[in-house]
Structures are given as structure tokens and as C-alpha cells.
Structure 1
Amino acid sequence: MVDSRMLRCAICLFLVIIQLSSCKSTAQRNSQESNDLGLELLLNENYSGFEEEQYILIKNQKELNAFYGIINRTRKPGLTPPSIDFTTEMILIWCGNSSASSFANLKLIENDEFLKIHKLDSNISKKESKLVVSPFSMYKLPLSAKTLKIEK
């Protein structure tokens, strides 16, 4: 009787460990991936729900909530929007298409007229995969009235 009870406890513990190890983690706030102009990585995720590559500049909470509404359509539980002070900061989001196999590595270059976003090549080799992903990367940067230009 003691052996069967011990076996049940061991099986339950094993199942809990498997369940916890299968949980997906999110890359949040990596301070090593920021640059001098204040471009700071907030989030990398594997599924945005967007089919085409695009860049989204968000300057208020309403737009941020709308974006999270889109990406959380298929997530249970959904991701929580970050706390942003939109009086001094704005959000830049890169959404990859379904053929993208890695997250964006963006570099911000500022001159007198505009902010230029340059997408750097990734060192990650593309793997043959049957998984359908559309990754996205979210960056925080200082609020600016300058025009944003994307250089691919």
C-alpha cells in the first residue's frame, strides 16, 4: 500500500515537472540588447498573427492595446502590455512574415531630419521547419517628432 502511494506521488511529480518544463518563456527586457540612442528590446515572441512583414510605430496606450488585442486573439492567457510612459517614449514593433525564422535585430540611427531603423542580418542560420511562425520584436525608444525611415 505504501509502495503504490509512493508510485502515485512519483507519477504526479513527474507530470508536474513535464508540464512546467513545457511552458513557453518570453524574452523580456534584455538590457544587453539596447544601443546608445535608447532603442531597448522589450519583447521577442514567435507568433504575431501578421502574414506580411511590417513595422508599427505606437505613440499612445490605445494603439498599444489594439496591437495586443491582435496578438492575443490566439493566446490563452494573453500577453500583458508593458507599462510605457508615452509622454517620453514610443514603441517600435517589427512583425516578420511566415518565412521569418528569427527575431529582428534593429539598429537606430538618428540625424537632423529623421530616425532611420536598419534591420541587421541575423547570425542565426535558417533551419528547415514545418512550424508556421510569424515572429515579432518590440522595442522602446525615446519619443521623437522626427520621421521614421526603414532601411532593409
Structure 2
Amino acid sequence: MVLIDHHNFINIDAFEAQVIRDAKSLRKFYVEINKTRKPGLPVPVVDFSQELVILVCLGEQKGDKAPVLSKLKETDEEISMVLELVEVEKDGDMTVQAINFPFYLYKMPLVDKTITFQRIDH
């Protein structure tokens, strides 16, 4: 799995994780987030005949957390992914926590399986 795009401020304020298997759906996501950006973010180039994309929108986050996305288990029909938010270490004292609405876009080799997500909160 490779991180291909990440931004801290988008207009999606709830947690969401989904699999994108075609260019039209990926463009649709970028049209949505680019409504509040000038200039808009470029749509990453993905070869959907070889790869699929996993989109993770974290919703409102306070402080600086990074998602760790990993495979929990895999069967013949399904891949279970787990998403854990991990605090990012900062140097010095931080008294102000920024609020952001980040998203992460990963690509991985194309599989013909259902992909499910579980979120672990600490």
C-alpha cells in the first residue's frame, strides 16, 4: 500500500473509509473537495486496470495524528483493514491544538475482494 495524496483541510467533516475502483469515482471525490479550493488539488493518476484506491477521511481532528492502515486478515472473499490513529511526536511544548479535516489516499494492487474497515480509537 502506497500513500499517493494527503491534505489536512477538506470539506468532509465525518469519518469515512472507502474503496475507489474507477477514475470517474476518484474524479468525483476531487470535484467535491475542490469546491472550497482555488486552485483545486490535482487528481492523482491511477491505473485502475492494475490498482485500486483506498480513501480515508478522518473527519474533525484536534492535534496532529497520523493514520496507520494495515491488513488485519484476508480470506478468499474479503480483506479486513484496520485504521488506527497515532499521535505524531512534536518537539517542544504545544499548547494550541489545530483542528483539521484530513484525508489520505492510498493505492494498492487490484484485488477482486470486498474490503472492510475497522477504526481503532485511543
Q: TM-score, normalised by structure 2?
A: 0.81
Provide the rounded CA distance (Å) in 2 between the counterparts of 1:61 and 1:72.
Answer: 16
Q: Report 1 or 2 for greater relative contact order, CA contacts < 8 Å, sequence distance ≥ 6.
A: 2
Cα displacement string for residues 3-52 of structure 1 (whole angstroms, at most 9, x for unaligned residues): xxxxxxxxxxxxxxxxxxxxxxxxxxxxxxxxxxxx11111210221111
Aligned-residue sequence identity (percent) comes to 29
Q: Considering only CA atoms, is the larger Rg found in Structure 1 or Structure 2?
A: 1
Counterpart of 1:27?
none
Counterpart of 2:67?
104
Deviates more, 1:120-129 or 1:82-91: 120-129
Provide the rounded CA distance (Å) in 2 between the counterparts of 1:144 and 1:73.
Answer: 31
Counterpart of 1:8?
none
Provide the rounded CA distance (Å) in 2 between the counterparts of 1:137 and 1:97.
Answer: 11
Counterpart of 2:82?
118
Provide the rounded CA distance (Å) in 1 between the counterparts of 2:34 and 2:85.
Answer: 28
| Change over 3 Å in CA distance of 1:128–1:113 after alignment to 2 | farther
Secondary structure of residue in 2 paired with 1:77: coil
Code of the aligned partner of 1:124: V
Provide the rounded CA distance (Å) in 2 between the counterparts of 1:104 and 1:93.
Answer: 12
Deviation of 1:123 after TM superposition, in Å, equals 3.6
Which structure's residues are more often strand, by fraction?
Answer: 2
Indicate whether 1:62 and 2:24 are aligned.
Answer: yes
Cα displacement string for residues 65-122 of structure 1 (whole angstroms, at most 9, x for unaligned residues): 0000011111111111111111111110100111354232211343322111111341
Deviation of 1:62 after TM superposition, in Å, equals 0.6
| Change over 3 Å in CA distance of 1:125–1:87 after alignment to 2 | same
Secondary structure of residue in 1 paired with 2:60: coil
Which of 94, 101, 112 aligns to 1:145? It is: 112
Aligned length: 114
Q: TM-score, normalised by structure 1?
A: 0.66
Indicate whether 1:133 and 2:96 are aligned.
Answer: no
Provide the rounded CA distance (Å) in 2 between the counterparts of 1:85 and 1:121.
Answer: 28
Counterpart of 2:12?
50
